[in-house]
């Protein structure tokens, strides 16, 4: 747990400095909203919690334009590894939460080349 909190603090610091925006939500706000998903994406919980799925829905709902989605894509590409997220677990989130996301969940995706 202490490792997750330290990683979270570092991610927030890095993302606050970058100050990229995801519609009405900054990158750091998006990451904070998705923090309930950390136990699932790092592999310590077998399923995402209801608060995790609510976070996924909230962030997804905020990213309404192509620019928002690209910013979100870049944001999460940076935040995921910093939090120790396992890509295969992160890819499962939309399906397990019953949410369709227009942004591919893949650490190798080129956010500027995808058609959102």
Residue 109: CB atoms within 10 Å: 15
pLDDT of residue 80: 92
Question: Tell me: the pLDDT tens digits for 66-111?
Answer: 888 889 899 999 999 999 999 999 999 999 999 998 878 888 989 9
pLDDT of residue 102: 82
pLDDT of residue 14: 37
Question: Tell me: the pLDDT tens digits for 7-53?
Answer: 444 343 333 333 444 446 899 999 999 999 999 999 999 999 999 99
- The Cα–Cα gap between 38 and 89 comes to 10
pLDDT of residue 24: 62
The DSSP code for 90 is H
pLDDT of residue 57: 96
Q: Which residues contact 115 (CB under 8 A, 6 or more apart)?
A: none
116 pLDDT band, cuts 50/70/90, is low
63 pLDDT band, cuts 50/70/90, is confident
């Amino acid at each position: 747990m202490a490792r997750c909190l330290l990683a979270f603090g570092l991610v927030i610091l890095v993302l606050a400095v970058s100050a990229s925006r995801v519609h009405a939500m900054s990158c750091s706000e998006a990451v904070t909203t998705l923090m309930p998903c950390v136990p699932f994406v790092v592999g310590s919980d077998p399923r995402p919690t209801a608060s995790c799925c609510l976070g996924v829905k909230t962030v997804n709902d905020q990213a309404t334009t192509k620019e928002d989605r690209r910013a979100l894509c870049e944001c999460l590409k940076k935040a995921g590894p910093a939090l120790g997220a396992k890509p295969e677990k992160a890819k499962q989130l939309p399906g397990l939460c019953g949410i369709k996301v227009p942004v591919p969940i893949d650490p190798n995706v080129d956010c500027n080349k995808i058609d959102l």
